[in-house]
Structure 1
Amino acid sequence: MTRISVALAAAGLMGATLAQAGEVEVLHWWTSGGEAKAAAELKAMMQAKGHTWKDFAVAGGGGDAAMTVLKSRVVSGNPPAAAQIKGPSIQEWAREGALANMDAVANANKWDDLLPPVIASGLKYEGHYVAAPVNVHRVNWLWANPEAFKKAGAKVPTTWDEFFVAAEALKKAGVIPVAHGGQNWQDFTTFESVALGVGGADFYKKALVQLDPGSLKSATMEKVLTTFKKVKGYTDANAPGRDWNLATAMVIKGDAGMQLMGDWAKGEFLAAGKVPGKDFVCVAAPGTAKSYTYNVDSFALFRVKGADNQKAQQDFAQAIMSPEFQEVFNLNKGSIPVRLNMNLAKFDSCAKTSATDFVASSKGGSLVPSIAHGMAVPSATEGAIKDVVSQFWNDDKLTATVVMDRLVAAVKSSK
């Protein structure tokens, strides 16, 4: 995000808003089946408290389109009360003085006790809460259609070698091996799961979080890139431009065998009436069973004018962290509650595995932030790296050696 301090000051952001009393305008990109159901639950909770919910939905799974719209709204002095923002971008907005202090709500509801420290720190700026978390997504999942695997006589893979054996068997059986959508965040979602599976958590942290030049230009990275490109050969010709949920639908229908995607994909399976363990299978992406790539959805709370609107905003933040919302939202979304010690009785086997692995990887040092989903590095750096990875995915003439040099250059130029 470019520095916009001068523009914010010129627009008189501090307090300028067109919202009516008791209104909470919410910017989000939950527009697909499972996500839309989850958003509807939050809207109902706010309306039950007497507030007016103003939906500000911008389609596009990665949220890039939403951020463009948000910047124009903030600069013009008319921010929404809450916007779906996460990772380092929260601190970027807070540095501009655009976010509201939510400590009163956080302290009254004991957020510090309810959130893992690594998650809580990402929601604060200079020690003060400025955002509220809704969930934890595991990104490094592989989704599979058991009927397609049965047809191919293949087994669901746990290693990359097994992955390519299964992909070949699916291809011979007339099934598209890998459902994929050609958008840069989807390319990178696959890439980071390959990096974690091939290189391990320590390599992942050095290369993709710390952006260590030596790791970005290493034999391990060359193997990661080669493996990543090999996956491309098992996608279909219609992948470019396809939305992620349409790729998930291919696995649901059995047109494709597998998809590498975060657990928001599970929301699509559930919305289609499918049962985990029976109609679909969830396993950690090849080679990543002992690691966990996290993506935490959260809402940054922007400064709004008027006591009624501020109260609506605080009620919104409180509702997000309530056990009732955490349960119903995550049951719909496919993710797990961000609150610790929640009762997971209503959750399925995929969610219980996710919750167990989340705690274990946190203790074991293999809990890593998703760079593809805005959790690891500043947005400018993330964008630059995504572009390089997608160029490699789409251009068969590019070699891994050239791409490693471009990764290092992209990191350097974006700082």
Structure 2
Amino acid sequence: MNLFKHSLIITCLSTSLLLTSASQAKQAEVELIHWWNQPGEIDGLNVIKRAVEARGAKFIETRVPSWEKLRSSIISRITSGYAPAATQWLVDEDIFELRSINALEPLPTLLNGNAIKDILLDEVYREVTSKDELLSLPVGIHIQNHTLYNTKIYTELSLPLPTSWEQVLAQAPLIKQAGYVPLAVSNELWQFDILFNAIMMEQLGFARFQQLYQKHQSMKHLREPFIKSMSIFRKLKILSDPEQPYRDWARSARMVGKQQVAMQVMGDFAKAELTNMDLTAGKEFLCSLSPGSNGNMIYAIDSFMMLNVDEPHLQQGQKILLDAALDNEVQIHYSLKKGSIPVTKVAPDKLDVCSRKSYQLWLNTEKKISTFLGVSNPLRSSFFQTMLNKAWYQNDMTSAQLIDELIEIDESTLKTKHRRQGRASLH
């Protein structure tokens, strides 16, 4: 009996040691939720995936249909105590709020002995840090007032790339007469937002555009340039094609690549769809800031937000993801596939002609504004999108009436907020 007990104890101890060893040896894992679903976007993510796997980690991804659904899913999982290890995130004020409730895991300030502050571009570093804590891992900068052009169409018709919206409208009849669609537009409301922002940049100029998405800032003084912008936006509708209501932004981009459409106003991520078609920037298609931008850049930063997790293999995966994503060679190849510009300091000549132009402009201008999808003021952005949807699909209101309705709704919201703040201050 004693021998049996002795053998049983040894067996149990051996099993326990084996289980402990197996647990300790569990492969590092990057668990990432994201909303990159189009072929070009997936090409970009695969660059990071391969870099993660080359560093010995498993890469597990979950795709969701949209930014809005990703955001609500992440908030829900954090609330229920089941946060993922990492999620794609557009850099916004939420990262600071999530840190305040200890949902985020601040990232190391050093990477391979180098200060991350010195690795990242200055503006990028400032946007993802608070009190010297790195709150999200930036992976790419996307320029939003960006336009793709089909080279053959403009060459065939001897047309210069337009530098104003007036020139876009003037060239449109020639393009239509030649059998091409002048402008590719998709059916997403946020795409209308991008297009209208590009128009407003011309009408407002940098200083006034900068005020546009500031919270608690009235828009009444912008009524006249808003009306001019709306007038241009409505004229653009006739430049699109009958299939526009049934097409997403990626299909619109591919129409440029197929020589069906002259131009598309979209974030530079649309370029990835053309690269995925084996087309070359500067050859089959051209890029520039949108007409009327005058060197001003509207941008968004894609990032991976690391959330608090307890499992060692997931924590190790977070470290590997950081190392992989900020590797300069990974940044270059990711940017070439994804259409973005790097968040790190790289040699511009390693980028394609489109990314190089944007990257060099980024380094040499202070006129940069982060407003993609209204992340700085999502409520106001939703008001714009509702108005733009009416303007595009309905014809029962003038441009002035649409703008007046927009301003009235926005003013009502501002007054409600002020009343609430006033009552709160009394307590």
How far apart are residue 211 of structure 1 and its match? 6.5
How far apart are residue 352 of structure 1 and its match? 1.4
Contact 1:106 1:129 in 2 (8 A): no
Which residue in 1 is equivalent to 2:239? 234
Contact 2:109 2:115 in 1 (8 A): no
Q: Distance in 1 between matches of 2:397 and 2:27?
A: 56
Cα-to-partner distance string for 1:236-264 (whole Å, 9 max, x where unaligned): 12212422110001111111111001111
How far apart are residue 346 of structure 1 and its match? 2.4
The alignment status of 1:30 with 2:30, answered yes or no, reads no
Q: Distance in 2 between matches of 1:390 and 1:21?
A: 49
The alignment status of 1:273 with 2:272, answered yes or no, reads no
Letter in 2 for 1:76: S
Which residue in 2 is equivalent to 1:382? 381
**One of 111, 118, 121 as aligned partner of 2:123:** 118
Q: How does 1:256-295 map to 2 (within 5 A)?
A: 256-295=261-300
Segment drifting more, 291-300 vs 111-120? 111-120
Which residue in 1 is equivalent to 2:195? 190
Letter in 1 for 2:413: S
Q: How does 1:81-100 map to 2 (within 5 A)?
A: 81-86=85-90, 87-100=92-105
Q: Distance in 2 between matches of 1:395 and 1:236?
A: 16
How far apart are residue 309 of structure 1 and its match? 1.7
Which residue in 2 is equivalent to 1:368? 369
Which residue in 1 is equivalent to 2:224? 219
Letter in 2 for 1:387: T
How far apart are residue 79 of structure 1 and its match? 1.6
- Structure 1: tracts of 5 or more residues without a match: 1-19
> CA distance change for structure 1 residues 207 and 378 in 2, over 3 Å: closer, same or farther?
closer
The alignment status of 1:57 with 2:56, answered yes or no, reads no
Q: Distance in 2 between matches of 1:43 and 1:271?
A: 17
Letter in 2 for 1:245: A
Which residue in 2 is equivalent to 1:154? 159
> CA distance change for structure 1 residues 215 and 153 in 2, over 3 Å: closer, same or farther?
farther
How far apart are residue 327 of structure 1 and its match? 1.2
**One of 63, 66, 69 as aligned partner of 2:70:** 66
- Structure 2: tracts of 5 or more residues without a match: 1-25, 418-427
Q: Distance in 2 between matches of 1:68 and 1:396?
A: 34
Q: Distance in 2 between matches of 1:215 and 1:276?
A: 41
Q: Percent identity?
A: 25
Contact 2:214 2:377 in 1 (8 A): no
How far apart are residue 186 of structure 1 and its match? 0.4
| Structure with greater helix share of residues | 2
Q: How does 1:11-22 map to 2 (within 5 A)?
A: 22=28
**One of 328, 334, 358 as aligned partner of 2:333:** 328
How far apart are residue 214 of structure 1 and its match? 4.1
How far apart are residue 126 of structure 1 and its match? 4.3
Which residue in 1 is equivalent to 2:406? 407
Cα-to-partner distance string for 1:168-187 (whole Å, 9 max, x where unaligned): 21112221111111111100
Letter in 1 for 2:88: Q
Q: Distance in 1 between matches of 2:385 and 2:411?
A: 11
Which residue in 2 is equivalent to 1:40? 46
Letter in 2 for 1:386: Q
Q: Distance in 1 between matches of 2:316 and 2:231?
A: 53
How far apart are residue 48 of structure 1 and its match? 1.9
SS in 1 for 2:336: helix
**One of 104, 107, 116 as aligned partner of 1:102:** 107
Cα-to-partner distance string for 1:70-113 (whole Å, 9 max, x where unaligned): 23332332221111112223234333431111134569541222
Letter in 2 for 1:171: K
Q: Distance in 2 between matches of 1:384 and 1:106?
A: 42
> CA distance change for structure 1 residues 359 and 37 in 2, over 3 Å: closer, same or farther?
same
Segment drifting more, 85-94 vs 205-214? 205-214
The alignment status of 1:344 with 2:345, answered yes or no, reads no
How far apart are residue 189 of structure 1 and its match? 0.6
Q: Distance in 2 between matches of 1:406 and 1:213?
A: 14
SS in 1 for 2:356: helix
> CA distance change for structure 1 residues 373 and 248 in 2, over 3 Å: closer, same or farther?
farther
SS in 2 for 1:295: strand
TM-score scaled by length of structure 1: 0.86
Which residue in 1 is equivalent to 2:358? 354
> CA distance change for structure 1 residues 302 and 406 in 2, over 3 Å: closer, same or farther?
farther
> CA distance change for structure 1 residues 88 and 198 in 2, over 3 Å: closer, same or farther?
same
Which residue in 2 is equivalent to 1:247? 252
CA RMSD of aligned residues (A): 2.3
How far apart are residue 318 of structure 1 and its match? 2.4
Contact 1:385 1:410 in 2 (8 A): no
SS in 1 for 2:262: strand
Runs of 4+ in 1 over 6 A off after TM superposition: none
Segment drifting more, 399-408 vs 138-147? 399-408
Which residue in 2 is equivalent to 1:7? none
Structure number with bigger Rg: 2
TM-score scaled by length of structure 2: 0.84
Q: Distance in 1 between matches of 2:27 and 2:75?
A: 24
> CA distance change for structure 1 residues 76 and 339 in 2, over 3 Å: closer, same or farther?
same
